[in-house]
Amino acid sequence: MANPKRKHTRSRRDTRRSQWKISFETLSKCSNCGALKIPHHVCPSCGFYNEKLITAPKQEKTKEEEKRS
């Protein structure tokens, strides 16, 4: 089994370990509806991106529509 030739410094060790931190997703406000969304993505609540309608917003099914399906 291979063994290290030299001891790694604390700085090198800690630099490697620094990548394991938890990062929270940044959110921005939608310019159309003001809801929080991921930057550079279509707004899930209104379907706008860059002040243009890209997709129609998803509408929740009513109980009657669920019974028919």
pLDDT band at 57 (very low <50, low <70, confident <90, very high): confident
**Residue 57: C-alpha distances to residues 5, 8, 27, 53 (Å):** 60, 54, 19, 9
> What percent of the chain lies above the pLDDT cut of 70?
83
Q: What is the pLDDT of residues 5-21, one digit of tens each?
A: 999 999 999 988 887 77
**How do 48-49 and 36-37 pair as beta strands?**
unpaired
Work out whether strand 28-29 and strand 36-37 pair parallel, antiparallel, or are unpaired. Answer: antiparallel
Alpha helix segments (H runs only) across 1-69: 10-17, 63-68
